[in-house]
Amino acid sequence: MSPGVSVGTAYCIHEIFVNPDTKRLEDREITAELARYETARDRAAADLRALQRKVARQVGEAEAAIFAVHESILRDAAFTRKIRAWIVDDRLTAQAALHRLLEQYTELFSRANDGYLKERLNDIRDVVVRLSAHLSDVLKPESLALPSPLIVVADELLPSQVVALGKVDVRGIVTQTGSQTSHAAIIARSRGIPAVSGVRGIMRQVTTGDTIIVDGREGHVLVKPDPEVEAAYRKLEREFVHLKDELAANRDHPAVTSDGVHLELLANINSLADAKAARAMGASGVGLYRTEYLYLTHPNIPDEDEQFEAYRKIVAASPNRNVTIRTLDIGGDKTVPYLGHHYQEANPFMGWRSIRLSFEHPEFFNTQLRAVLRAAGEARQHGGSVRLLFPMITTLEEIRRVRGMVRRAGTQLAEEGKPFAMVPIGMMLEVPAAAVALDLMLDSVDFVSVGSNDLVQYLMAADRDNPKVSHLCQPLAPAVLRILHNVIRICLRAQKPITVCGEMAGQPKSFVLLFGMGLRSFSMSPALIPSVKEIASHLSELAARQILQEAMRLKTTASIKRYLDQQLGRIAPNLKLLDTV
Residues labelled as active-site residues: 183, 501
User: Which DSSP helix (H) or strand (E) runs through 10?
Assistant: strand 5-12
Dihedral pair phi/psi, residue 195, rounded to 5°: -155, 150
Dihedral pair phi/psi, residue 154, rounded to 5°: -150, 165
Under 8 Å CB-to-CB from 5, ≥6 apart: which residues? 194, 213, 214, 215, 216, 217, 233, 236, 237, 239, 240, 577
**Distances, alpha carbon 392 to alpha carbons 288, 472, 519, in Å:** 14, 21, 21
Dihedral pair phi/psi, residue 175, rounded to 5°: -130, 150
Under 8 Å CB-to-CB from 298, ≥6 apart: which residues? 306
Closest to 447 in 3D by CA, of 371, 409, 390, 401: 390
Q: Can you list the pairs that 230-238 forms with residues at least 24 positions away whose Cβ atoms lie under 8 Å?
A: 230/7, 233/5, 233/7, 234/7, 236/5, 236/577, 237/5, 237/6, 237/7
Amino acid at 542: L
Spatial distance between the Cα atoms of 82 and 84, rounded to a whole number of angstroms: 6
Spatial distance between the Cα atoms of 182 and 1, rounded to a whole number of angstroms: 9
> In degrees to the nearest 10, what's the CA dihedral of 316, 322, 328, 331?
-110
Q: What is the distance, to the nearest Å, from the Cα of residue 137 to the centroid of all Cα atoms in its chain?
A: 25
Amino acid at 577: L
> In degrees to the nearest 10, what's the CA dihedral of 367, 369, 372, 373?
-110
> In degrees to the nearest 10, what's the CA dihedral of 502, 263, 443, 450?
-10
Q: How does strand 5-12 pair with strand 211-215?
A: antiparallel
Dihedral pair phi/psi, residue 124, rounded to 5°: -65, -40
Amino acid at 179: S
Under 8 Å CB-to-CB from 172, ≥6 apart: which residues? 6, 8, 149, 150, 151, 152, 188, 193, 194, 195, 212, 214, 216
